[in-house]
């Protein structure tokens, strides 16, 4: 018997002619996540990836593999000879190993990829189920809602397993283009980045601050969130842009109640220029419709006009409760709620315009040297690599 980890992929195997590209991307992402832990070998057989490693490393390997998008399940499997006797013996040993032999219900689920095997899948399940019942008098069969399932895959060898650990699902990172995330220091933007990464998009980030009006600790908080997010996205570049001079110009030359909309349009234009230089294909924000003044449908429309790139808003229809749950899941919530203000909250007006008209916002922008302000902000930005 040989203990292995088996990786079952999700949507990848619905992707037709692109399947091999998706599979190779997912496999490379797994290798990246587990290279420091170490393993002996990887191989593919009938749509699953098998990993050979020391059994005492399995928990550490599973922890890192769970962070890779595109995976449906991770299973600890036992590989044995493709005989009824060996399959039966191994199934019984696994039930004893997991201590599932007392008063539980079970079923056997077989999948016969090798059609030369003597028994069909239903007959093999019945045969092994009978052996299990003979060995464990306290177990009962329940094919609808069993307490546990004995899975048997018949390939070049037999692979048997009981426990499956759910993966993140989604698509492999890097299979859906390049996105630039507007990363604040709050709850929403890390979740937005995570969700777009789950759909296969490579994520880098731009962070806007206004030091010295905002503190260095507020800036560090955003970098810490980027580090947390990089556990799922891999290496990330963060463009740190100071908007202090832009906020001062808006305050001096425009109506204060327009500050939020005007500054968001500056952010989008700056992000577009950086995207053009570094070849990002879309912007990503953590906006949710109606959550704050800048996220009314009128505000969203006016902000959209300032960007030539598509602005992806994966949280647009989500409740705050659901966003928080995901933030907690990716272990970013405690960092996100630290009490350090970002530039948006520092300069937010008491009575912001909630239904802006594009023509009036553009009229206000005529009072600003937009090109000069944007270029100066970009020229002074800091580029930070998050490993």
pLDDT of residue 325: 97
Helix and strand totals (H; E) in the chain: 14, 15
Q: Does position 66 have pLDDT exceeding 70, yes or no?
A: yes
Does 182 belong to an annotated binding site? yes
pLDDT of residue 16: 58
pLDDT of residue 383: 98
Domain boundaries, given as residue ranges, for the chain: 2-166, 178-386
241-263 residue pLDDT tens: 999 999 999 999 999 899 999 99
Four-CA torsion 74, 78, 79, 83, nearest 10 degrees: -130
Does 195 belong to an annotated binding site? no
Q: Does position 234 have pLDDT exceeding 70, yes or no?
A: yes
The mean per-residue pLDDT over the stretch 269-287 comes to: 97
Decide yes or no: CATH 3.90.1150.10 for domain 178-386: no
Contact of 146 with 74, CB cutoff 8 Å = no
Maximum CA pair distance of the chain? 86
pLDDT of residue 213: 81
Phi, psi dihedral angles at 92 (to 5 degrees): -65, -40
Cβ count near 116 (within 10 Å):
7
Rounded to 10 deg, the angle between the 358-365 and 259-278 helix axes is 80
Q: Does position 345 have pLDDT exceeding 70, yes or no?
A: no
Residues in CB range of 116: below 8 A, 6 or more apart = none
* Mean pLDDT computed over every residue of the chain: 92
Four-CA torsion 220, 226, 231, 236, nearest 10 degrees: -120
Q: Which CATH class is domain 2-166?
A: alpha beta
Rounded to 10 deg, the angle between the 121-135 and 84-97 helix axes is 50
Length of the chain, please?
387
Contact of 339 with 214, CB cutoff 8 Å = no
pLDDT of residue 285: 97
Distance between CA atoms of residues 128 and 107, nearest Å: 10
Question: What does each C-alpha distance from 17 to 12, 71, 260 come to in angstroms?
Answer: 11, 19, 46
The mean per-residue pLDDT over the stretch 270-295 comes to: 90
The mean per-residue pLDDT over the stretch 226-252 comes to: 95
Percentage above 70 pLDDT, the chain: 95
Question: What does each C-alpha distance from 387 to 17, 109, 123, 171, 380 come to in angstroms?
Answer: 33, 42, 51, 21, 23
Distance between CA atoms of residues 9 and 68, nearest Å: 11
pLDDT of residue 340: 73
Does 255 belong to an annotated binding site? no
Contact of 327 with 224, CB cutoff 8 Å = no
User: Which residue pairs from 289-293 have beta carbons closer than 8 angstroms and sit at least 24 positions apart in sequence?
Assistant: 289/316, 289/317, 291/188, 291/320, 293/260, 293/348, 293/352, 293/353, 293/354
pLDDT of residue 174: 87
The mean per-residue pLDDT over the stretch 89-113 comes to: 94
Band of residue 364 on the pLDDT scale cut at 50, 70, 90: very high
366-378 residue pLDDT tens: 999 999 999 999 9
3-52 residue pLDDT tens: 999 999 977 655 556 677 888 888 999 999 999 999 999 999 988 999 99
- Partner residues linked to 77 by β-bridges: 4
Distance between CA atoms of residues 190 and 376, nearest Å: 27
3-state SS assignment for residue 180: strand
pLDDT of residue 300: 93
Q: What is the DSSP string of 222-256?
A: HHHHHHHHHHHH-SEEEEEEE-HHHHHHHHHHS-G
pLDDT of residue 12: 61
Q: What is the pTM of this model?
A: 0.87
Contact of 381 with 267, CB cutoff 8 Å = no
Does 208 belong to an annotated binding site? yes
Does 362 belong to an annotated binding site? no
Burial of 197 (0-12, 13-18, 19+ CB in 10 A): buried
167-224 residue pLDDT tens: 999 988 888 999 999 999 899 999 999 999 999 999 999 999 998 887 889 899 999 9
- Partner residues linked to 202 by β-bridges: 178
Percentage above 90 pLDDT, the chain: 81
């Amino acid at each position: 018997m040989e203990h292995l980890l088996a990786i079952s992929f999700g949507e990848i195997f619905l992707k037709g002619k692109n399947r091999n590209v998706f599979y190779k991307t997912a496999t490379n992402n797994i290798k990246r996540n587990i290279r420091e832990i170490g393993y002996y070998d990887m191989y593919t057989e009938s749509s699953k990836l098998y990993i050979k490693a020391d059994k005492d490393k399995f928990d550490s390997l599973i922890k890192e593999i769970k962070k890779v998008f595109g995976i449906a399940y991770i299973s600890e499997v036992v590989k044995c000879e493709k005989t009824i006797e060996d399959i039966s013996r191994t199934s019984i040993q696994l039930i004893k190993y997991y201590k599932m032999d007392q008063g539980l219900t079970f079923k056997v689920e077989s999948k016969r990829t090798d059609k030369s095997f003597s028994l069909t899948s239903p007959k093999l399940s019945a045969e092994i189920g009978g052996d299990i019942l003979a060995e464990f008098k306290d177990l009962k069969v329940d094919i609808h809602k069993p307490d546990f399932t004995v899975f048997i895959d018949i390939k070049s060898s037999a692979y048997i397993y009981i426990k499956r650990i759910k993966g993140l699902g989604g698509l492999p990172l890097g299979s859906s283009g390049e996105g630039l995330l507007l990363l604040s220091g709050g709850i929403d933007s890390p979740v937005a980045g995570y969700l777009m990464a789950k759909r296969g998009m490579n994520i880098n980030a731009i962070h806007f601050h206004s030091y010295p009006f905002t503190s260095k600790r507020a800036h560090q908080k955003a970098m810490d969130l980027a580090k947390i997010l990089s556990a799922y996205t891999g290496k990330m570049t963060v463009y740190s842009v100071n908007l202090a001079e832009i906020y001062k110009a808006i305050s001096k030359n425009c109506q204060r109640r327009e500050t939020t909309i005007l500054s968001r349009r500056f952010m989008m234009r700056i992000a577009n220029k950086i995207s053009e230089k570094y070849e990002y294909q879309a912007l990503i924000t953590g906006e949710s419709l109606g959550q704050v003044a800048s996220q009314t449908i009128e505000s969203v429309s006016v902000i959209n006009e300032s960007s030539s790139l598509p602005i992806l808003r994966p949280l647009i229809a989500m409740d705050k409760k659901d966003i928080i749950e995901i933030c907690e899941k990716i272990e970013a919530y405690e960092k996100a709620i630290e009490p350090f203000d970002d530039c948006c909250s520092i300069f937010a007006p008491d009575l912001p315009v909630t239904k802006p008209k594009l023509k009036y916002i553009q009229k206000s922008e005529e009072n600003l040297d937009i090109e000069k302000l944007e270029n100066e902000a970009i020229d002074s930005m800091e580029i930070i690599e998050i490993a």
